[in-house]
Amino acid sequence: MNTQSAVAAQAESAIPLPEELVQRARELIPKLIERWDRADRECRISEETVAEMQAAGLFRVLQPRRYGGYEMDPHVFYQIQMALAEGCMSTAWIYGVIAVHNWQLALYDDRAQKEVWGRDSSTLISSSYMPKGQLKRVPGGFRLTGRWGFSSGVDHCQWAFLGGLVPPESSQGAPEFRTFLVPRSDFRIVKAWDTVGLRGTGSQDVEVTDAFVPEYRTHKASDGAAGTSPGLKVNTGALYKLPFGQIFVRAVSTSSIGALQGALTSFTEWCAARVSVNDFSRSAEDPTAQELAAKTTVAIDEMKLALMRNFDSLMRSARAGKALDMMDRIHYRTQSASVSERCADLVNKLFYSAGAHGIYRTSRLSRYFVDINCGRTHVANNIAKIARNQGGVLFGLPNTDTFL
């Protein structure tokens, strides 16, 4: 038995149950709350936290079993992310965007997978998909130069996915978006992350100067959308037949649901104990607070149900080998983007309803308030643009969104 087969066999016998993984994530919540201040000060999640997530097996959920992963349905991945976000949205954010890379790497040529996981299957990958790379075709691949922003959790990663537009080979062609896989030895981390929220994500800049990237370490966006990625030759599970756009957009919106639950928990605990010094009324008896708590609870449930329903549908189609309905893909994309707006609107109401209590940095509610509003600014959460596309399609206009 070769090394890779031995790793896969060992991992197969040790795969935990989905509910066990979610429980491991929930057990981290008190620690994440306790470490929130440190993450804010240092603008990064601690090595200790990442090591605990590694030990709990959380990063392996979407990783191929061939490389020690669990190859579970996306439902498990997003449940874990929501649980982590109840404690710290920054932690959940880097978990979402780093762990989802284990899914994307499975779409690459197997030579690239072996380079990353061949010696250490726990190796992590960061990213910045902005198409900012300057590229030159050379024999066997490309020379890549550029500087990319917003590489969340990059301090904890040994590789990076970086976006770039490959110039057409003829004057008649169009540029082609690809993701370039680059080792830590070929990029420099530039400390540029100093934000009002999501500080712990440590989303620093990444700089590359004239690095060679072989062809097999690139991934075409068109392959990800059409289900023709080279990695599907070796990773044949239904999980890897899902469109990249459907997986990734949820990785940057779902942490807001968990953070909103954390904010609601903080709000209800405060209301249950608070007595006004002005008129000695109890916040627990305030009709406005009662209504807001109920509406937020219902909204969280609705967003979770839509998330799980959508991936039930996507996985059902993938397992049956059926083409995914384009109208469904457009609809699911809009629902994902709407999550950030809904969560921001609700946490803003909770923050206002809490009065002066919420404005202190020691208030957990203020942390969720800032982080959720910052998460809303991600381009994938731009509900206006995405909803306009769906509305246009409903009116008979052509679809303009290629990230589905």
pLDDT, tens digit (0-9, with 9 covering 90-100), for 293-312: 999 999 999 999 999 999 99
Statement: 3-121 belongs to CATH 1.10.540.10: yes
Confidence of residue 7 (pLDDT cuts 50, 70, 90): low
Q: What DSSP assignment string belongs to 87-112?
A: H-HHHHHHHHHHHHHHHHHTTS-HHH
CATH superfamily for 252-394 is Butyryl-CoA Dehydrogenase, subunit A, domain 3 (1.20.140.10)
250 Cβ neighbours under 8 A, 6+ residues apart? 74, 78, 307, 336
Confidence of residue 240 (pLDDT cuts 50, 70, 90): very high
**How confident is the prediction for the chain on average, in pLDDT?**
92
pLDDT, tens digit (0-9, with 9 covering 90-100), for 350-377: 999 888 777 888 888 999 999 999 999 9
Listed in order, the ranges of the chain carrying CATH 2.40.110.10 are 125-220
| pLDDT for 6 beyond 80 | no
- Average pLDDT, integer, range 9-29: 87
- Average pLDDT, integer, range 181-185: 98
Between strands 188-190 and 125-138, the pairing is unpaired
pLDDT, tens digit (0-9, with 9 covering 90-100), for 125-176: 999 999 999 999 999 999 999 999 999 999 999 999 999 999 887 777 788 9
Structure tokens, 125: 């990958």
pLDDT, tens digit (0-9, with 9 covering 90-100), for 23-63: 999 999 999 999 999 999 999 999 999 999 999 999 999 99
Q: Which residue shows structure tokens 């990442």?
A: 50
pLDDT, tens digit (0-9, with 9 covering 90-100), for 49-59: 999 999 999 99
Top CATH class of 125-220 equals mainly beta
Listed in order, the ranges of the chain carrying CATH 1.10.540.10 are 3-121
